[in-house]
Amino acid sequence: MNKAGAWLSMTVLMAFCILAAAQSQQQTAMKVIVGGQLSAKAAAPAPGTTAKGASQKKSIGTGKASTTASQPSSFWSEELDVDDDGTVETSDFLYDAQRGIVYAYREDDFTCPNGKSESGSILTALYATSNKSAAPVGSGWFVVDVDEEQCAAQEAAMYGCRFDASGNPTECGAASLDAATGELELAVVAED
């Protein structure tokens, strides 16, 4: 086989491996829908007309599904259909203008990798126009605080995904939050 043929074969093989890994990751990830009304907060990170409790706070969320802003930041509660399911959910929002991140926290349903629906704490972060990560506006990440035996988990843990500006997951795994940056850290586990 000549060099061009070997290069083409290697490129095709790599593409198949990447596709298989992405499909496997999608099948083993928690599923949280990032709906249009939630995504819109990235472009306009401010309380809407139905917002309540506007104040300044430095943190959002509870337990593992919580994070701290870089400084006291705009905080409010608002009712939105955050997951495009036709039901309005009450969510807390925190806009860290210094980092350019809008955080949203709620207690809601999510889907386990096995398709079973569970309920728990969900923290979502959306990159706004001025984000320091230079990430696409509307992209971001979410974490789900999973109790022992939820989603067949052996122990309580936090799982999360990064997603693109269309809300499509790009990378998922066991998660933690970096308190210094307010960013998601993933331990992506390779599938057997």
Taking only the tens place, the pLDDT of each residue in 108-163 is 999 998 889 999 999 999 999 989 889 999 999 999 998 888 888 878 889 999 99
Q: Is residue 16 part of a domain?
A: no
Contact 95, 72 (CB under 8 A): no
Range with the lowest mean pLDDT among 63-72, 108-117, 131-140, 180-189?
180-189
Please tell me the pTM assigned to this model: 0.82
The answer as to whether 2 is a domain residue is no
Locate tokens 């409010």: which residue? Answer: 76
CA-atom Rg of the chain in angstroms:
18
Number of domains within the chain: 1
Contact 81, 87 (CB under 8 A): yes
Residue 88 covered by a domain: yes
Within a domain: 112? yes
173 and 157 Cβ atoms separated by less than 8 Å? no
Q: Answer whether residue 102 is part of any domain.
A: yes
Owning domain of residue 181 = 30-187
**Residue 64 in domain:** yes
The tokens 């298989």 sit on which residue? 20
Q: What's the pLDDT at 82?
A: 94
State the distance between the two ends of the chain, measured CA to CA, in whole angstroms: 31
Q: How many other CB atoms are there within 10 angstroms of residue 75's CB atom?
A: 21
Determine, yes or no, domain membership for 148.
Answer: yes
Residue 183 domain-assigned (yes or no): yes
